[in-house]
Structure formats: C-alpha cells, structure tokens
Structure 1
Amino acid sequence: MAPNVSSSRTQLSYPLYAADFDPLNPDFLLVGGGGGSSSTGVPNKISLIDTSQRNELKEVIDIELASNEDSVTSLAIADSSAASLTAFAGINSSVADQNAGRNEHLRSFRIGLPARKRRADGSTVVGDGEKPLAPAQDSQPLGRTALFRSATTTKNDTYQRVLRFSPPQKTGQPRLAAIASGLAPNNEVIVFRPNPKPAPDDEVSRIELGSREAGDVDLTMEDGEKGGYLLAYCTDDEVFLQQLPPSSKPDVPTSLFRASEISRSLPPSQRPKFRALRFLTPRHLLLLRNRPSRTGADLLVLRISQDCSQARISLRKQLNKSIKAAVGLDVCGLTESEQGEKQFAIGVAGQSGEDSSIEVLALDCSPEAGLGFFRSYAFFKAVHNGPLTRLVFSSFIGPTLPVTKSVGPQSLRLASVGVDKCVVVHYLPLRPFSATSAKTPRYVLIPPGRSEAVQTSFSVFFALVVVGLVAFLMQAFCEIRGVVPPILGAPGWLSPRMRELVARPYIFADRISSAASDVPIAAHSATEKLKTSADEMTSTLSSALSSATDSLKNLVEENSNLETPKAIIVREQPMGEISTEILQSDAELLKQETLKKWEQLSEAQKKGWKRRLIDAGHWAEHQGENVLKGILFSELAGAVGNMVGGG
C-alpha cells in the first residue's frame, strides 16, 4: 500500500453490484444491489453512504425496493444539488410483468441529502452542527420505462448491464446517458437525454449489436466549435466510436480497433477480451484488456485519428502480476494548469485468486508532449473477499485559486463494492504541483517526473554507486585485516592503538620479500655457472682450433726429421672437408690422381687452398706459406681442375 493512504470499510445487509459518487460532492456515495426476486430474504436496496470521515463510513439513507423485482444491476447519478440528487438505475421488473411483455428496466429516483454547511469549494465544514439526517421518505421514485426493444416482448433474460453518463459540467448543464443490454436476443446500446421520465423523443442514438454484447460504454464531449459528443463502446474483440452531433442525425458507428486476425482465428478461450474503456481526451481512449486463460491484464491507450475513422495503440501497460483477470476500470481527471497540463488517476479492479485487488496508476498529459507514461501509484491487496463488482472515483474540483493557508490537504476518493456486501473507500492524498507559482497549483497523485527511460538510467547509476561503495569498503576492510596489499592505505586511517588491535601487516608480504631477496642470489649463482661453462667451452674450442691449425705444421716437422722424407698430400673431400696423407712410396704416388706441389699452383689456386685450409683449421696465415712448400695438393673429380703432376 502506498504511504499515507487511509481507507474505511463498512458492511451492509445485501450484496452490492453498483456504485457512484455525487459528482458535485464527494462526501456522498450511492450504492445498490440486493438478492433479486428470489425467496432468500435478501432485500433489494439503494443506500447513501457518507464518506466525509476517514475513519468511518455511515449509511445515511436506506431505500428498500420491491422484493419481487430484480436487484440493482447498474446505478449512476445524473444531477446533484445541495438538497438532493437524481439517480438512474437498472432494475428489471417482476417476473409477472416480464411474462406480460413489460420490463421497465430503467428507473429514476430523487434522493434527499442531509443538510450541512459547505465551503465555496464544496468541502464539508466539520463540527458545525449538522441537521438531522434525511429520512428515507424524503427520497422518492421519479419514473420507470423500457428503452430496450427486447424489454417489451415476452419474458427473456435481458437486463441493463451498463449505465454511463457523460462527464459532469456545471450545475444545471445537461448531460447524456448511455445504457447497454446483456443476455438479450438482440443486444443494443442506447444514448438518451436523462430526463426523470425518458420518452421516445429523448432518444439520441440506438445501435443494434445482435448476439454480441457491449462490455462497456463511455461518453465525452467533442472538441471544437461544433460541439457534440462522442460515444465509445467495446465488444469482446472490437472497439467502436460514434459521433453525436448536437443538431443532426448521429453518424454510423465506426470500428476503431479490433483484435488481430491471429487472435480471431483462435478459439474464444484463447483470445484476449476487452473488458472496459474510458475516454482520457476526445482523441485518447483507455482500454482494459484481459489476456486469455486468466493470465493477466493490460491497459492500452488508443490514439484516435482526427476524422475518428481509426485508432492505433500509442501506449501499453502490463498490470500487476497478481491480477489474473480485470473486472473494473475508472478514470478521474485531476485539476488542470493554465498551460493545459493535467494528470489522470486510473483505478483497475482485478481478481487475484479468490480475492479482489485494486491497482492505482497515474498518467500525465500536456498539450505539448501529449501523454506520458503509466506510473504505478499503489496496489491494494485483498480489498474484497470475492468478486469486486464496481470501482468508481469521486470527482475532484480542487480549491479556489489562489490557494491560501486555510486550504487543507486535498484527497481523491476511490470506492469499491462487491458481493461480500462491503463498501470500501480509499482516500488518496493529492499533492499541489506548480512550475510557476505556489498559489496556483494543480493537484496530482505523483509529481510529474522524468520518463521511464531516465528513471531506469538513474536506477542503474545508483546501483553502480552502491556496488562501488561496497567494493571500496571491502577493499578497506581487507587492507586493515592484512588480506590484500595496502593500495588505499586503509591501516593508516586508524589511530595507533586501534591499528595495533585491528590492523595486521599484509600476510603475504614476508613471503614475497623473502622470495624477492632470493631472486638476485639465484640469478647471480646461475650467471656464474653459465660464465664458467662458457669459459670452459671457449677454452675447449680454442684448444681444438689450435690443435687443428697446428696439425699440418707438426706433420711437416715430423716428416722432415725422417731419414727418407715422405710425400705429404692434402685432399679436399666431397663434403668440403680436408684430409692429409703421407705416402710410403713413389709407386703409390704414381697411382694417385694428378698432384701439384704448392710452388706449382697458380695464385688463384693458392688463394682457394688457403681459404679451405683456414676453414678446416689446418693452417693459419701467421704460419706463413713456407709450411706449405713441398706439399702435394689434390682435388677429386676435377674440383680444382688444371692440376699437373710433379716430382
């Protein structure tokens, strides 16, 4: 429940099916119902409830109707004054009258009101000594008639399921009324002027629906200089609009909106159904739709074209998930600013399991921005134990401007009745709102604010701020407890004594310091080992290279010390390697390939052999060419070529 929303409840002696507030005085609520013509002993009644005290609802007038007639099925107040009000009701005649082909279903009553002092703005002055409450004999029936054609035939199940008046204007200004039949052989919607005893001349429009029924109807005044009225009604799957000019014949109703072809191709139990409708403006129609199989309900706003030929959905709202099926709808337009800005209070009644609940929403409208977004105001759970039959707002006129200090808090009343015989009134507090002057405010349920997208962005931003704050506090706590390194320096935020008691050093710091100190030592040891290995490898390579480069010189020296020197032959192997060989005899020498002494080689050949000997490690330039003199050089497969023999 929304804050500061108070409610009052009272239980009557009969089940209730209809209710309406006095359009000029929200202190009075008229309710009706009964047990019908059955022999249960439950009476048929109309009661006037005083709602001026928030902590108590008082039944001030109790009108008992004929027990052999039907109960009150629909009820609305047509006109009101300080002394009395005029009400119309839907009440079927007795069974005997219906069998005779006479069912005077439309009744009118004049009901006297308790005398009490009122302020200029219509509010009640409490504690000034009210006169005694009006007795029931001050109320009297005014007329009864039959407007439905099926009501003048032999008995059938026709009844007046809907009764709706155009919005109240000033006192004495005429209004139009519309009624719709139910369970008739041929259902109808009829618009008429609500004279106390309607005659055929008072009929404005008659629409035949055949076997279809109008679930709800509504009337509003047309914009523009021509004036006139607009009538809207809905069946299970279609919405119609009829223009009612002031001085000419009504136009044929136009189909404004219908369920999609996919829905129409489904079985009736799987189709969504239109339940109720209300005009927001002459070009915006609010539609209540139930989803199939009691899976929820939606509000749709239909934007009507300028020529009133079609409409499209401009706004959509899914109702509270607790509502399985919607059963009632009402709208109240709150006060309007000088710029034409206005807020609508929307009440939806729905069944939530075995109980009935109410959801209240707000919708802003301005000439420049058009309609805003639906905003949920309150959700009232289990208002009635069983089906809720009628939901109605009081009208709100507002205090006289400019507002003075003597003007108290303002509220809007929302009444509901049900078969549990209970009347419940919620008092919704209104807030003054003005963008220009505090003395000329308009009143709203919820102050106009940002769009839903902006609100969502703000909510996300706020959530991120909360998450960031929690993360900051967790980091600070973990630093103080020594779990993580001190990035924020949180231990330093504490006093020395508190730090000794709470704060701890970072528990991994010693290990990291130890590990960090071991790294240079290990690296130094590894470097020394690598250096030693490199030195050893270098020494080995140097030794090998030295021994390789000295091998040919040593071979020459050893050969020269022999009594009979041998021939030394240097050959290049197929893989580019160099081999040395000492021949033991000349005969063996004659068998070899063409050989040349070093002295016999050309400069190009000497240069080539020097490069090969150096690459193979058999000779170095510092040894000089004398080492090579007398040595025979040979190349296989003519690799060197142009070699000649020598002795």
Structure 2
Amino acid sequence: MAAPIPSAEIRLSYPLYALDFDPQDANRLVVGGGGGGSSRSGVGNKLTVLDASHVDSLQVVSEIDLSRDEDSVNTLVAGPGRRANSILVYAGINSAAEDVEKGNNKHFRVFAADLPAKPTAEGKIAELSRSSLFSVADTDAYQRLLRISGRVGAAATGTIGRPKDAEIAVFDLPAASSSNPAPTLRGKVELSKEAMDMDLLQISDDEHQLVYCDAYDIYTLVIGPSSIRGPHLIFTVPFDHGTGATDRPSFRCIRFLTPGFVLAVANRPKGAGAVLQGFRLPKLADLGKTEKEGKCRLSVATHLPKGIARGTGLAVRNLSPPAAPGAKQDDAQFVAAVTGQDSSITLFTLDHQAVGDVSLIANLFPVTTFKEVHSGPISGVAFSPFAPPPPPPPSSSGDAPPKPVHHLKLATIGSMGNTCVVHRLPLKRLPAPAPSAARSRPEKPAPAAARYVLALKSRKPSARNLFLGIALGVAFLALLLQAVIEVKGFSPPIIGARYVTPSRWHSPGLYYGPDGKYTALAIPSASAAPSSAVPAVEGVLGEYLAAAASAAASAAEGEGEEAKKVVLRPFVEEEATDEGETEPAVVVKVEVEAEADNDETQREPAKGWEELSALQKELWKKALKRAGQWTEEVGEAVFKGVLFGEIGGAVGGAVGAMVA
C-alpha cells in the first residue's frame, strides 16, 4: 500500500480567495482575502505570506491588514523579480464604494513583502502603488482575473450587471528595482462576453501569447513588442446533433502547457460531470486565415471521477521546463490538479512527447483524488515552482551518493473555513537516456538534463469494464437462447421460460408433449423393463407405449408362453371423401405378436427406426403426420426403441399418392 501524501494546514482569521507561490522560492506562499468591507461583514481584509518549508505545519511569515472600507483581495500574483529582499505581490482590490461611485477605482495594487533573514523573525508587507487599468463604468466591476509572465501582464474584469462591458487590460511591469512599480497600460481588448478564465505565456524574447475562454469559445491573441494581434476565435463547443440536445458543456478553466497546447476544464450541463481536455493550438502564422487553419484541435480528454459534478479550478506544472522562453520543449511530464464542487482535488499526469519537429500530448491519466480537503468550496489552487536540480556530484569514496528526495507542493485555499492546505507530492528522477551508438565522431556527449516525473503511479484505463460488459452480453444471449429452446420444447425447464411466456408461443418437442406438459419423452422398447409411469403421449404412440410396457411386464413375470413384441404396422383402408366417393387411406395400428408370427404369416420382419431406409423413414413420418400423431417439432428421437412394420407395395404407393 502506498504511503499517504503528507499535508500541512493552517486556519487564518479571514476568508481566502487568492493564492500564489513565490516563483523563486517554493517554500513561500502568498494568500489573500477578507470580508469585503465593513458594510458587508465584520471580518477585515488581509494579505499573508506563509512558510511552507515544514512537512506538517504552515507558519505566518508576514501579514498586512488592509482597509476595511475597501473590497477583499480577489486576485493575486507573486512577481518573478525581487525588490531588495522583498517579494513583489500584485493584487486586485477594489477601492472603497464612495471612490468607485465617483469613477475612481484603483483596483491594481503592488505590495512588497519582506523576507526575514531569520525564520523566527517577522517580516513586513508594505503597499507600493495603486492604479486603474479598466475603463468599465459599471460600479460592480472588479478585477476578476490576473496573469503575469515575465514583465507583461493581463487583467480581466468581472462584471455582474453589465457583462457586455467586459474587457482585458494588457500592461507592462517595470523592473523590480524601479522606484515606480506601477504598471504601464499597453492596450485594452473589449469582450462581447465575460472571460471565464485566461492564461499568459512568454513564447519568445519579445512576444507573449494570451489565451482566454468564455462559456463556449476559446480565443487567443499575440502580444508583440509594439502591437496586439487578436483576439482570434480558435474553438467553439459544438452542439450534439446526434442527440438533439440544446445544452452544451461550458468552459470553466484554461491553462497553457506549451506554446502549442492548452489544457481546459469543461462542465457538462445540469451538473452531469466535468471533462479535462487538451487542445493543440493553431500555428501563429495561421491565425486569422481560413476557418480550418485557424482552429485548435482536441488532442486528449478524460472525465473527472463520477462524484464530481462540476470542476471549479485548475493548476498545471511542467516538471521539465525549457531553459528559456521559446526554447524547444523536450519530453516532459505535466502534473494537473482539478478541484471540484465537493472540495476534492483530483491529480492527473500528462506526457509531452517530441520527435523531431513534431510534438504531441498523450497519456492523460488520473493519479489520485483527495476528498473533502476543506470544509467548504475550494477558492484557489496552485503548484509550487519546480526547476530540475543538477545531478549530485559523485562521492569521493566511490559509492553512489544518496538520491535526494524532491517534492512538488500543491496548495489550496477554502473561503468558508479560512483554511490553507499544502500537499507534498513526491517526485523521482528518471535515468538519463543511453547515448546513441552511431556517431560520426567519438565526441563525449553532453550530459543530459535531469528529467523528473511524479513518483505516484497513474491509473491507466482498465479493460475490466469492457470484459465485464462482454461477459454480461454473452450471458444474456445464453439465457435468451435457453428460453427459446425451452419454449420450443427442446430443453427441460432450467430457467422456466414456458411458465412465464404465453401458451401460444409453446410447441411440443423432445421434453414436452402436445398437451404442453413436461414428459421427458423416452420411448422404451418391448424388451425394456416395465415402467411404473408411462409418459403421457396421445394417439398411436401412446397406445404403443402402453402395449410395450404391458408386454415387458408379462415377460418379466413369466405369464406368456411365447415372447411378445409390439409393432406399428400400416394398413390401407377405404375412406369416404366429402363428395361421397371413397379413396385409399393409410391407418397405423398397434399389433402385439409372438416372435414367430413373421415366419407363419410370411410378413416382413419389424425393424427399429435406425434400421429403416431413408425412403421408409420419410413414408412413416408422412403417414404419422397425416394421422396427427407426429410433427416436425417433436423430432425423430421419439421413434427410438419403436418397432416399425415396413411400408411397401400398394401401401407404399397409397401413402406416396396421398401425401405427395
């Protein structure tokens, strides 16, 4: 059994709505939130830096109390740079209601959080600047989304009353050492619908790509050094024309994997579950061209566990990131965490494979699910940064040095319980690939970069359900076949199909007589031992059974002087027709005779059914069928053990003429 994943938890004094790890220190976690102003609740607004270096605990490093008249912290990003010995934190906080009504909403804030030199010392958090990026007149608008990559950022509005006024503001950040840390607005993108989620990625030294989604569409735009190209519509959720459903899955989250792939969470209608999907993005040169060239394509997809009705959050981490923005992405594993409405976290792994200039994503498999992580909804999820460390130097003693244990931290926050939980996910280093034997020159190969993957094993799709479905299908067909042969009388009552089906479906057969009763027909021969229960067969076959049983009983008791045998013999008799004329007709009678009767009367000897010729068998079947004593459904097995006088001469001719 695998060891449990260690986790640490802390409960703060205010609701948490945003979080982010320090990009340069995986042990520093910044969280923020609050009550949203004194008019809404008595809980204050705060920003807190936590120490996540301990396995079983989280500790507060620094904290700042924000104005109770202003809104709570809605978005938060820890900047990549340092200002002296401080982390730069960018947050979205609406100004006081009086200022917002006057059109003066300084929603974009910049903070500097000190990093104490000693673990026991407390740091300070100071606000450096506040500015406005949006031009939305709606007083209910707020900074709902914030993404920063390098020194370029994007912020999207959240609009409650007027969603058509939604927009995305693109801005530049000054150097961390600049005396004025306020952003410089580069441009605004007006949206017809509010962005549900977005992500930003640096794709070269001077270019960034932004991708965002609304409920049913995915858009992308390219941010160049002097222009913004887009937005370009690259995907629309299609309707299911096969079922005629009017509802479609809707996007909830989207994240970049590489410049060529994104990962998105879509929720199915009416809380029917969530889907995690990977899309291949179109080439930048194809954007704005034909509809086919400018669209992204679905590459991988998987469903979240059945108990999760809706996905609420998504975080992604590349365990083998490229050395620089725009560099080629080699083989790598991505770890994705999806939060659900039931306070659960489901981990997935995804492989990026590169062969020459061709890249693809595959093997999107679930790893595990953490259930009921928080006492209420999960309001944020984030992975710690991870850069593969260099391989350890060889030991001076010649022994292999111990392998260090590396972890990837996964942090989540809950707004209702005021809690922050950090899980430590173990990683393992993959062995370096063997160098190629075919080399033009005997050069020493450069050491391959270390590649890490999640140490937890993912669960590949199992064929158990398929095999179980096939087995159930075969069992159902077997039961159906058994029911059919029971209804037709060819099987004893194993499942009792004749007891639950209409009588008009029933037919006599090997095990059921013409009256529909189960008889297990077996015709004894004249020499067989007497039977205490003669099968209930009507007509001449019934007479034969009774006579054969009587003869067998007499022979066993020694009552007769000569052995008796019972024979079915045909006779030709005149039969009146409906027109008043007569015509020959064949009748079958049961005769009980001595063994020597054939010699005295010069009759043809009686034969068993197996001894009759094919012609004799056909004539007998036609004769018994015409007399109403036998049908095709009964089968030939009923004749086993019966002695037949031969049909020949005029009798055979009469039978042939009548049944032809």
Per the TM superposition, whether the score is higher than 0.5 is yes
Checking the alignment, whether the CA contact within 8 Å between 2:77 and 2:146 is kept in structure 1 is: yes
Structure 2: give runs of 5+ residues left out of the alignment.
288-293, 323-327, 395-400, 435-446, 472-526, 530-551, 557-561, 566-592, 604-648, 650-660
1:598 is aligned to none
C-alpha distance 434-266 of structure 1, shift in aligned 2 (>3 A): same
C-alpha distance 49-416 of structure 1, shift in aligned 2 (>3 A): same
Q: 1:213 aligns with which of 194, 204, 226?
A: 194
Root-mean-square deviation over aligned CA pairs:
3.8
SS across alignment from 2:300:
strand
Q: How does 1:224-623 map to 2 (within 5 A)?
A: 228-245=207-224, 247-261=225-239, 270-306=247-283, 307-308=286-287, 309-335=294-320, 340-352=330-342, 356-368=343-355, 370-402=360-392, 405=401, 407-419=403-415, 420-434=417-431, 436=433, 441-446=450-455, 452=461, 456=463, 540-543=597-600
Code of the residue aligned with 1:143 in structure 2: it is S
SS across alignment from 2:307:
coil
TM-score, structure 1 as length reference = 0.63
* Comparing 1-10 and 273-282, the one that deviates more: 1-10
Q: How does 1:121-270 map to 2 (within 5 A)?
A: 130=118, 132-136=120-124, 139-150=125-136, 153=137, 156-166=139-149, 174-183=150-159, 185=162, 186-195=165-174, 197=180, 202-210=184-192, 212-222=193-203, 228-245=207-224, 247-261=225-239, 270=247
Q: CA deviation at 1:205?
A: 3.8
Relative to its length, the structure with more helix (as a share) is 1
The C-alpha deviation readout for 1:86-109, integer Å capped at 9, x for no partner, is 110001111222232210000001
Q: CA deviation at 1:176?
A: 1.7
The C-alpha deviation readout for 1:21-48, integer Å capped at 9, x for no partner, is 0111110000000112224331111000
Aligned residues: 451
1:28 is aligned to 28
Q: CA deviation at 1:163?
A: 0.8
SS across alignment from 2:20:
strand
Aligned sequence identity (%): 35
2:86 is aligned to 84
Distance, in Å, in 1 between the alignment partners of 2:369 and 2:466 is 21
Q: CA deviation at 1:450?
A: 10
Q: CA deviation at 1:433?
A: 1.9
Distance, in Å, in 1 between the alignment partners of 2:450 and 2:102 is 59
Distance, in Å, in 1 between the alignment partners of 2:403 and 2:448 is 11
Distance, in Å, in 1 between the alignment partners of 2:379 and 2:467 is 41
Checking the alignment, whether the CA contact within 8 Å between 1:79 and 1:87 is kept in structure 2 is: no
C-alpha distance 341-459 of structure 1, shift in aligned 2 (>3 A): farther
Q: CA deviation at 1:83?
A: 2.4
Distance, in Å, in 2 between the alignment partners of 1:521 and 1:383 is 80
The C-alpha deviation readout for 1:178-211, integer Å capped at 9, x for no partner, is 11001174111122112375668x333421014x
Distance, in Å, in 2 between the alignment partners of 1:30 and 1:267 is 44
Q: CA deviation at 1:235?
A: 0.9
Distance, in Å, in 1 between the alignment partners of 2:352 and 2:457 is 10
* Comparing 396-405 and 271-280, the one that deviates more: 396-405
Q: CA deviation at 1:376?
A: 1.0
Distance, in Å, in 1 between the alignment partners of 2:146 and 2:454 is 28
C-alpha distance 63-289 of structure 1, shift in aligned 2 (>3 A): same
Q: CA deviation at 1:540?
A: 4.8
C-alpha distance 267-159 of structure 1, shift in aligned 2 (>3 A): farther
Q: How does 1:39-54 map to 2 (within 5 A)?
A: 39=39, 40-54=41-55
Checking the alignment, whether the CA contact within 8 Å between 2:30 and 2:47 is kept in structure 1 is: yes
Q: CA deviation at 1:428?
A: 0.8
Distance, in Å, in 2 between the alignment partners of 1:272 and 1:542 is 93
TM-score, structure 2 as length reference = 0.62
Q: CA deviation at 1:373?
A: 2.0
Q: CA deviation at 1:20?
A: 0.2
SS across alignment from 2:100:
helix
C-alpha distance 457-439 of structure 1, shift in aligned 2 (>3 A): farther
Q: CA deviation at 1:157?
A: 0.6
Code of the residue aligned with 2:463 in structure 1: it is T
The C-alpha deviation readout for 1:591-621, integer Å capped at 9, x for no partner, is xxxxxxxxxxxxxxxxxxxxxxxx9xxxxxx
Distance, in Å, in 2 between the alignment partners of 1:15 and 1:132 is 25
SS across alignment from 1:367:
strand
Code of the residue aligned with 2:282 in structure 1: it is S
C-alpha distance 144-227 of structure 1, shift in aligned 2 (>3 A): closer
Distance, in Å, in 1 between the alignment partners of 2:598 and 2:33 is 119
C-alpha distance 9-132 of structure 1, shift in aligned 2 (>3 A): closer
The C-alpha deviation readout for 1:368-391, integer Å capped at 9, x for no partner, is 372112211111111111221111
Checking the alignment, whether the CA contact within 8 Å between 2:353 and 2:361 is kept in structure 1 is: yes
Distance, in Å, in 1 between the alignment partners of 2:321 and 2:456 is 14
SS across alignment from 1:97:
helix
Distance, in Å, in 2 between the alignment partners of 1:539 and 1:325 is 93
Q: CA deviation at 1:243?
A: 1.5
SS across alignment from 1:38:
coil
C-alpha distance 345-533 of structure 1, shift in aligned 2 (>3 A): same
Checking the alignment, whether the CA contact within 8 Å between 1:12 and 1:422 is kept in structure 2 is: yes
Checking the alignment, whether the CA contact within 8 Å between 1:433 and 1:447 is kept in structure 2 is: no
2:8 is aligned to 8
State the structure with more CA Rg: 1
